[in-house]
Amino acid sequence: MARPLSLGVLLSGSGTNLQALIDAVAARQLDAQIAVVVSNEATAYGLVRAREHGISTEIVAHGVFRSRAAFDARLVEVLRAHGVELVVLAGFMRLVTPVLLGAFPARVVNIHPALLPAFPGLHAERQALAHGARITGVTVHFVDEHADHGPIIVQVAVPILPDDDEARLHLRIQRQEHRAYARAIQLIAEGRVRIEGRRVLIDGDTADAEAALASPPFAQRTSP
């Protein structure tokens, strides 16, 4: 079997997506190893999760750098020192610059809690609710120089329920995030992912031509 893909996970917060990746590796659903977890926030709970699983951690506090480029240059040093091949943004609350993207071309991925290009930026669930969308979801994409913009690898649709608030919707979206991120990274680990312009082509993609998620569901009857 091929050598596992070496991941560097960048995060700023609780790290439930990191946890899902740790679990997917342990369950042998993901042929990868997490070489290092890097945070710009010393108190990020994701660092605790990493340490509990014996994964190396590094704190790179953005405040001490003159510029975003200088901060990214330090990130590149840390990631290279750990032999990272794929950079995984998992709730990393900093915009990355060409310094990082140039060091890992087409090798930086991100996850966003909406079906991009709908609802980019912060509070995607709040935006979807405010818009009255009936379906939102999850996007895993390659990172380019624009926020929440690069070529899309995996999307998962999630219906918005009548009594949803931001917290409830967030929890359901996160459950799908945790599946989607491992899936996308596994496709990359298997060498099945190719970028062509804005499109990502996946070897052996078996999309179901008849599949659809309707909200409300097609089958629902409202009268006797």
The catalytic residue among 112, 131, 149, 178 is 112
Cα gap 50→59, rounded to integer Å? 12
Structure tokens at 138: 């999850």
As measured in angstroms, the least distance from the Cβ of 129 to ligand GRF is: 15
- As measured in angstroms, the least distance from the Cβ of 90 to ligand GRF is 5
Helix (H) or strand (E) holding 6: strand 5-11
**Residue placing its CB nearer to ligand GRF in the complex, 155 or 190:** 155
Per DSSP, the three-state class of 12 is coil
Q: Which residue has the tokens 């140039």?
A: 102
Q: Which is nearer to ligand GRF, 129 or 190 (CB)?
A: 129
Beta strand 57-59 pairing with 32-39: parallel
Helices (H), the chain: 16-26, 45-52, 68-81, 98-103, 124-131, 166-189
Q: How far apart are CA 59 and CA 146, in angstroms?
A: 25
CB 40, min distance to ligand GRF, A: 13
Q: Which is nearer to ligand GRF, 57 or 190 (CB)?
A: 57
Token representation of residue 167:
């917290």
Residues of the shown chain interacting with ligand GRF in the complex, contacts defined by CB under 6 A: 11, 13-17, 90-91, 111-113, 174, 177
Query: Which secondary structure element, helix H or strand E, spans residue 195, and what is its range?
Result: strand 193-196
Query: In terms of CB distance, is 146 or 221 closer to ligand GRF?
Result: 146
Tell me whether residue 93 or residue 190 sits nearer to ligand GRF (CB atom): 93
Least spacing, CB of residue 50 vs ligand GRF, in Å: 12
Q: Tell me which residue has tokens 């240059």.
A: 73
Q: At its nearest, how many Å lie between ligand GRF and the CB of residue 206?
A: 26
State the residue for tokens 């590094």. Answer: 58
The question of whether 149 is a catalytic residue gets the answer: no
Q: Hey, which residues are catalytic here?
A: 112
